[in-house]
Amino acid sequence: MAQYRFSWAIVNGTGTITVNGNPPELFYEEGTSLTILGTFGSGFSFSSYNINNNYLSSLVNPWTLTMPSRDVKLVVNVTGTFTPSDTDYELKYFSETEDQSLQLIRLEIYEFGYVGAATEKQTAGFQFRWGNFGADEIEPIVRSFLNFGLVGSRDEYLKFSKEVIESGRLSCLLMVTCFGRDTSITLL
């Protein structure tokens, strides 16, 4: 039996999937039974699974299907809004900018142990690029990336890295929301 590529992405939220109780593999043999279970970030819930633009779809989580004799591009749709699961994180900084297509992008930084009002910051060198799932089976998959700088003094941001090294815990959470023409997408 032939093996086919299995790629996946979560849209409009955060989370991960398992296939048959394990992290997804890059390839599966056609005819293999796959049980897909999605788990989602704080504030997000399952909406639907979609394979290859509605070749197969499901509104059930977990979902058991048979691996078809073609490459699979699984899109996991979720709904909701990010909610920090640790109530000790509070919004400290935020910034809004537009990309080249004039899409609004909002950056939020939640700091551990912070109490106070959120402060708007300017960003410098903000770069955001959407990846793809491959337009067809032979196109490579490219991941998204985010790169930015916050305008401010060195000491203002140095404490973030110092706290991570000393405590071993994340001192801040980063959330980026892109408000597009048809949808908004949140990355954590």
pLDDT score of 155: 63
Residues 94/118, Cβ–Cβ less than 8 Å: yes
What is the arrangement of strands in the sheet containing 63-66, beginning at the earlier edge strand? 15-19, 33-40, 63-66
pLDDT score of 30: 96
What is the arrangement of strands in the sheet containing 89-98, beginning at the earlier edge strand? 119-120, 89-98, 104-112, 172-179, 184-187
Non-local CB neighbours of 187 within 8 Å, separated by 6+ positions: 14, 144, 146, 175, 176, 177, 178
Domain ranges in the chain are 3-80, 89-187
pLDDT score of 42: 78
Residue 116 phi, psi (nearest 5): 150, -175
pLDDT-flagged residues of the chain (< 70): 84-87, 99-103, 125-148, 150, 152-188
Rg, the chain, Cα only: 19
Q: Is the pTM of this model over 0.75?
A: no
